[in-house]
Amino acid sequence: MPPFDATFAALSDATRRGVLEQLGREGASITQLAEKFHMTLTGMKKHVVVLERAGLVTTEKVGRVRTCKLGLRRLEEEAAWIEAYRRLWDARFNALDNVVEELKRREKVDE
Amino acid sequence: MPPFDATFAALSDATRRGVLEQLGREGASITQLAEKFHMTLTGMKKHVVVLERAGLVTTEKVGRVRTCKLGLRRLEEEAAWIEAYRRLWDARFNALDNVVEELKRREKVDE
DNA sequence: TAAACACTGAACCATATGGTTCAGTGTAAT
DNA sequence: ATTACACTGAACCATATGGTTCAGTGTTTA
């Protein structure tokens, strides 16, 4: 339901960002991820669950091994939010310049 | 020290994203923000502290009122990370097409 | 000077996070 | 049939989060 909350929260952990980067290279089992990030199986499982709930990862269990790969979420809305924010930020900080511009314009009028 | 962690965590809350959008329009006191987001002063103060620690907001106290405005962080690294991820994601999902392409190429060779 | 205002800090609460260990369950290999 | 493997679930732990109330402190304003 609240996409941003879950996604940004998922991205706020270095291990989880690492897992995403890893899965971008190739799929991996929970065991492989746990080893790569020096963590217990159970610990890694929790991270994977968080990533799954955020739509960033999907998993499938075949036999006794669960394979993880990137999920459908492509961070489009998140990228869009950040871009919108950056435009807002630019406008806000350019406002300072705008004051200067405005003063210059008035000077000219006064001439 | 860990910029992503603090920033993404700060962005994972709807109230805080709202505060950022508000401050993008114009600066505001803690009281004003607390009213706008239907929250106690103390509650809003905590959010502002989180945003400050992430570099997204700066505040200045003049007399008895603390005024908040957007901070220096423009989400550049965050935008860059997300963009890199999206490229990774595209490559990963295009890989499926690539398999198809590869098969087609082999068929041609076999002809 | 008294009253109102804006904030701050401490304490509390319920829930979440990031990790662990331990005890299973089910699957694969010998 | 036994053993080893990969995962899962429950329980636990310390700390963080998102909120609150209550009791200040310091600043305006009347």
Could you report the per-residue pLDDT of A22-45, keeping only the tens digit for each? 999 999 999 999 999 999 999 999
Q: How do residues B70-109 score in pLDDT, each as one tens digit? A: 999 999 999 999 999 999 999 988 766 655 554 554 454 4
Position A35 scores a pLDDT of 97
| CA atoms in the 13 A half-sphere facing the CB of B23 | 28
- Contacts for B92-101 with beta carbons within 8 Å, 24 or more apart? B92/A23, B92/A24, B92/A69, B92/A70, B93/A70
> A46 is written with which tokens?
């929790």
Binary contact (A89, B70; C-beta < 8 A): yes
Tokens 């890893």: give the residue. Answer: A22
Q: How many CB atoms lie within 10 A of CB B29?
A: 18
> A100 is written with which tokens?
């200067």
> A27 is written with which tokens?
């799929």
| CA atoms in the 13 A half-sphere facing the CB of A20 | 30
Q: Which CATH class is domain B3-70?
A: mainly alpha
User: Chain B residues with CB-CB distance to A under 8 A?
Assistant: 2, 4-9, 11-14, 17, 20-21, 23-25, 69-70, 74-76, 78-79, 81-83, 85-86, 88-93
Residue of A nearest to B11 (CA): A8
CB-CB: which of B13, B81, B88 is closest to A24? B88
Binary contact (B79, A86; C-beta < 8 A): yes
Residue B107 CA to residue B104 CA, distance in Å, equals: 5
Residue B59 CA to residue B92 CA, distance in Å, equals: 43
| CA atoms in the 13 A half-sphere facing the CB of A38 | 1
Q: Which helix (H) or strand (E) holds B70?
A: strand B65-70
Q: Where is pLDDT greater, at A20 or B94? A: A20
| Within A 49-108, residues with CB less than 7 Å from strand D | 61, 64-67
pLDDT at B1 over 50: no
In chain A, beta strands by DSSP E: 28-29, 57-62, 65-70
pLDDT at B69 over 80: yes
Amino acid occupying residue A72: L
> B22 is written with which tokens?
């508000």
